Amino acid sequence: EKVEITKEQRTLMKVIVDAYSTHQIPQDVAKKLLQEQYSADENFLLLTEMATSQVQVLVEFTKNIPGFLSLDREDQIALLKGSAVEAMFLRSAQVFSRKMPSGQTEVLEERIRKSGISEEFIIPMFNFYKSIVSLHMVQEEQALLTTITILTPDRPYVKDQQAVERIQETMLELLRKLCVLQRPQEPQYFARLLGRLTELRTLSHYHAEMLTSWRTNDHKFTPLLCEIWDVQ
C-alpha cells in the first residue's frame, strides 16, 4: 500500500530526533575513556560515571517525548525505572555503531570487559552489540526504538497501562512507516527491530545479576543509580 508520513508524524519525528541527538554524554566524560589508567576498579568507576551521566541524559530525553509528561507522575517514574537499563544498552550499542572518534570504541569495549562483569554476561552483551551494529540503524530508528522501549506499558507498578499503550502505538506506527520507506527491499526490517526489544529484556535480567555480583564485591554506585535501580 502507498505508505506516507503525515505532517503531524513528521513533526513528532523531528521533536524526538532533536531530543535524542541533543542530549549526549558530556565530552569530558567520553574523553576520560582514553585518559584514565586501566584497572578493574578504575574501569568500574568510569563506567559508573558514564551510567550516571547516561541516566541524566535519558531523563531529559524522556521529558521531551510528546505525551510523556501528561502521564500520571508515578507512572512516569515507573516507566523510567523499568526501562533505564534497556535504554542504556541501546544507547551504548549505538555508541559502538557510530565508531567514536580516536579509537574510543575499542577502549570502551576493553573497559567494559575488564570491569568485574562475569564472562557469562559479557558474551550476551557483546552479541547484542554486534546485532545492533549489524542493523545499521539511522538516527530516526535509534531514537524511535529507544522511545518505544521507554513507553513499554507492562513495566512493574505502571497503573494506567492503557495511557502508555496509546502513546507507544503512535511511535510504533511511525517507526513501521519509516522502516517501509527507508528499506523497501527489506520488508522484515521493522520486525527485526522489534525483535531487538525482546533481546533487551533478557539483557536487563542479566543486568540485575551483574548489579548483585558487583555489590557482593563491595562496589559502590552513585545515589542516582541506586534510586533508578533500587539498590542499596
Ligand X SMILES: CC(C)c1onc(-c2c(Cl)cccc2Cl)c1COc1ccc2c(ccn2Cc2cccc(C(=O)O)c2)c1
Nearer to ligand X, 100 or 172 (CB): 100
For the CB of residue 48, give the shortest distance to ligand X in the complex, in Å. Answer: 4
Count of beta carbons in the 10 Å neighbourhood of residue 194: 14
CA 76 – CA 133 distance, rounded (Å): 30
Which residues in the 150-169 window bind ligand X by CB under 6 A?
none
Among 76, 83, 92, 142, binds ligand X (CB under 6 A): 92
Among 61, 68, 89, 189, binds ligand X (CB under 6 A): 89
Among 71, 95, 137, 143, binds ligand X (CB under 6 A): 95
Nearer to ligand X, 159 or 220 (CB): 220
Verify binding: residue 108, ligand X, rule CB under 6 A: yes
C-alpha angle 85/88/93, rounded to 5°?
130
For the CB of residue 129, give the shortest distance to ligand X in the complex, in Å. Answer: 9
Verify binding: residue 196, ligand X, rule CB under 6 A: no
The DSSP secondary-structure symbol of 134 reads: T
Q: Computed over its alpha carbons, how large is the radius of gyration of the chain?
A: 18
For ligand X, what does the binding mask look like between residues 45 and 64, x meaning CB under 6 A?
--xx-xx--x----------
Span interacting with ligand X, options 5-13, 58-66, 83-91, 172-180, rule CB under 6 A = 83-91
Verify binding: residue 97, ligand X, rule CB under 6 A: no
The DSSP secondary-structure symbol of 138 reads: -
Place of cell 530525553: 61
CA 120 – CA 16 distance, rounded (Å): 35
Verify binding: residue 112, ligand X, rule CB under 6 A: yes
Span interacting with ligand X, options 43-51, 68-76, 141-149, 193-201, rule CB under 6 A = 43-51
Count of beta carbons in the 10 Å neighbourhood of residue 198: 8
Q: Are 68 and 12 in contact (CB under 8 A)?
A: no
Q: Are 48 and 229 in contact (CB under 8 A)?
A: no
CA 78 – CA 164 distance, rounded (Å): 11
Verify binding: residue 85, ligand X, rule CB under 6 A: yes
Verify binding: residue 44, ligand X, rule CB under 6 A: yes
Residue whose C-alpha is closest to residue 59's, from 149, 145, 150: 150
Give contact residues for ligand X (rule: CB under 6 A): 24-25, 30, 44, 47-48, 50-51, 54, 85, 88-89, 91-92, 95, 108, 112, 221, 225
